[in-house]
Amino acid sequence: MKNSFIVSSLLDNDFYKFTMQNAVIKLFPLVKAKYKFINRGQHSFPKNFDKILKENLNKMAYLKLSNEERTYLEKFCPYLDSSYLDFLDKYQYNPKEVNISQKGKNIQMNIEGAWSSTILWEVPLMAIISELYYKLTGAIPISNKKIIILTKKKIKKYKKLNVKIGEYGTRRRFSYQVHKLILKILIEEGYPIFIGSSNVHFSHIYSIKPIGTLGHEWIMFHAAKYGFNIADRIAMENWIKIYKKNLGIALSDTYTSPIFFQNFNKKLANTFKGVRHDSGDPISFIKETIKHYKKFKINPIKKKIIFSDNLNPCKVANISSFCKKKINPYFGIGTHFTNDVGLSPMNMVIKMDKTLPVIEKKNKNNWISVVKLSNVEEKSTGKKNMIFLAKKNLHL
């Protein structure tokens, strides 16, 4: 157990972490960030979990981008320029940025350092926590044979619905091996509905293009720097500065969808290829999105909505049927692919907690708490007083 190496490639991470890292280096190279582990499922961690977790993190310091991986990124992700790939060539995880402690059955974890460096920790850390948790608690999954049968059944259902699906399941996967197996089946059996994986390492192994754009922390930082009211707009404008018309999917629920739509002006609505739905009622969101595009005389059928909120075939069927001939739906399926092994998936997140947007010698400790106000209460994160302040500012 102690010698297991759960994350063995620098690219074993979600694609949007690299796209955001590139943007951070270009626009906010001096910014610092703090992240916090949130045990939403109140999981009880076994004895010495913190020590074994630390051993795995220490091994990550030796991960380096290989020449082959760099060549893959140059070919499949041309919008990641050579200056960024040079940065990634030299990048190494720094385990000193991660502070882990265990009291009884509770784990506490904080990450702190330059945003450009700490941004890559979240996804592989969660993947390691998930895999270690099942191993150390002696959880027994269904057999690989059953996993294959189950995955093929799901693919059949999605094919019958004729929907486009992607795999987004790195952070809460049961294990690296199960993840690899699921992707192999998706690639072999999923044509033409399977559009790719958010995991860059597996995308490299199978020579496919990784999928993803940006995450909530990009907008949360902009709120700390520029204010809650205009965070969505400035975050999108800054994204366009870096990527022009590439990677053009706007994230809609960092400060609730109504606030997002106030910021999603005609220019942005035209420039971005579509929007991502990650919380709240999908049907209401579809109606609101279509109404918003029509207000600007934009034909919604030329736009996309990426759905990524805890999906399964039943939810996908309802959403795709409602979208028909109105707007183009795409579905990012996470845990329901990579951790459907007869056990309960873990419910945990690692979220940006604070940022230091302006570095001044006089004000070394002017950390600003960041907040996410999802469309549903339980997905919101941040300190209670800051959530209250954000809601007051936004008249929510």
pLDDT tier, 363 (very low <50, low <70, confident <90, very high otherwise): low
Q: Which of residues 183 and 384 earns the better pLDDT score?
A: 183
DSSP state of 6: S
Q: What are 181-196's pLDDT values in tens digits?
A: 999 999 999 999 999 9
pLDDT tier, 47 (very low <50, low <70, confident <90, very high otherwise): very high
135-139, 313-317, 378-382: range with lowest mean pLDDT: 378-382
What confidence score (pLDDT) does residue 1 get? 39
> What is the share, in percent, of the chain residues with pLDDT greater than 70?
97
What confidence score (pLDDT) does residue 235 get? 98
pLDDT tier, 362 (very low <50, low <70, confident <90, very high otherwise): low
Domains and CATH numbers, the chain: 15-140+346-393 (3.20.140.10), 144-338 (3.20.140.10)
Return d(Cα 200, Cα 203) in angstroms, integer.
5
What is the chain's mean pLDDT, rounded? 95
User: What predicted TM-score, i.e. pTM, was given to this entire model?
Assistant: 0.96
* CB-based contacts of 158, cutoff 8 Å, min separation 6: 165, 190, 193, 313, 316, 331
Beta bridge partners of 250: 275
What confidence score (pLDDT) does residue 134 get? 97
By CB atoms closer than 10 A (0-12, 13-18, 19+), residue 362 is exposed
> What is the share, in percent, of the chain residues with pLDDT greater than 90?
91
Question: Region 26-38: what's the mean pLDDT?
Answer: 97
